[in-house]
Structure 1
Amino acid sequence: MKKVLALVGDYYHPSDYLKQALKMVIKKNYHLDIFSSHQEINWDGLMEYDVLILATWGKINDPDDEAYWLDEYHEKRIDQFLAEGGKLFLVHSGTASYPKDGLFRKMAGGHFIEHPEDHPEMTMRTVAENPLTKGIDEFKIKDEQYFMEVDQEEVEVFLKAKSKEFGESTAGWFKDYKNGKVIVLTPGHSLEVFEEEMMQKLINNILEL
Structure 2
Amino acid sequence: MSTSILAIVGDYYHPKEAILQSLEQVLSAHEKIELEIGNPHHLLEKLAEKPDVVILFSENRVNPTDDNVHTWMTEEIADAIIQFVESGGGWLAWRSGLASYEIDSNYAKMLRGYFKYHPNQHQIVHYSNTTDNDILSSGVSFDLLDEHYFVHCDTDQTTVFLQATSVNGQSIAGWYHTYGNGKVCCLTPTHNKEGLLDPAFIEVLEKCVMWTSS
The reply to whether TM is greater than 0.5 is yes
- Which residue of the partner structure matches residue 21 of structure 1? 22
CA distance in 2, matches of 1:143, 1:49: 31
CA distance in 1, matches of 2:35, 2:139: 24
- Which residue of the partner structure matches residue 7 of structure 1? 8
Quick one: which amino acid aligns to residue 158 of structure 1? Answer: F
103-112 or 15-24: bigger deviation:
15-24
**What aligned pairs does 1:98-177 form with structure 2 within 5 A after superposition?**
98-163=101-166, 165-177=167-179
Q: Secondary structure at the match of 2:85?
A: helix
CA deviation map 1:11-56 (0-9, x unaligned)? 1111222222212222333111112x32244536445311100000
* Contact map agreement 2:6 2:51 (CA 8 A) in 1: yes
* Contact map agreement 1:58 1:68 (CA 8 A) in 2: yes
- Which residue of the partner structure matches residue 181 of structure 2? 179
CA deviation map 1:30-85 (0-9, x unaligned)? 111112x3224453644531110000011223344443211111111111111111
**What aligned pairs does 1:24-103 form with structure 2 within 5 A after superposition?**
24-27=25-28, 28-29=30-31, 30-35=33-38, 37-43=39-45, 45-46=47-48, 48-63=50-65, 64-103=67-106
CA deviation map 1:135-173 (0-9, x unaligned)? 44211111110000111211111111111x212111011
User: What is the TM-score normalised by the length of structure 2?
Assistant: 0.90
CA distance in 2, matches of 1:172, 1:194: 15
CA distance in 2, matches of 1:44, 1:9: 17
CA distance in 2, matches of 1:86, 1:162: 32
Number of equivalent positions: 207
After superposition, the Cα gap between the structure-2 partners of 1:206 and 1:93, relative to the gap in structure 1 and judged at 3 Å, is same
* Contact map agreement 1:47 1:81 (CA 8 A) in 2: no
CA distance in 2, matches of 1:4, 1:135: 26
- Which residue of the partner structure matches residue 191 of structure 1? 193
CA distance in 1, matches of 2:105, 2:140: 36
Percent identity (aligned): 32
* Contact map agreement 1:128 1:159 (CA 8 A) in 2: no
* Contact map agreement 2:60 2:73 (CA 8 A) in 1: yes
Query: Over the residues paired in the alignment, what is the CA RMSD in angstroms?
Result: 1.7
User: What is the TM-score normalised by the length of structure 1?
Assistant: 0.92
Q: Secondary structure at the match of 2:191?
A: coil
CA distance in 1, matches of 2:173, 2:47: 31
Quick one: which amino acid aligns to residue 155 of structure 1? Answer: T
Q: Secondary structure at the match of 2:54?
A: strand
CA distance in 2, matches of 1:46, 1:150: 29
CA distance in 2, matches of 1:108, 1:65: 27
CA distance in 2, matches of 1:70, 1:4: 20
* Contact map agreement 1:134 1:205 (CA 8 A) in 2: no
Segments of 5+ residues of structure 2 without an aligned counterpart are none
CA distance in 2, matches of 1:139, 1:33: 30
After superposition, the Cα gap between the structure-2 partners of 1:116 and 1:108, relative to the gap in structure 1 and judged at 3 Å, is same
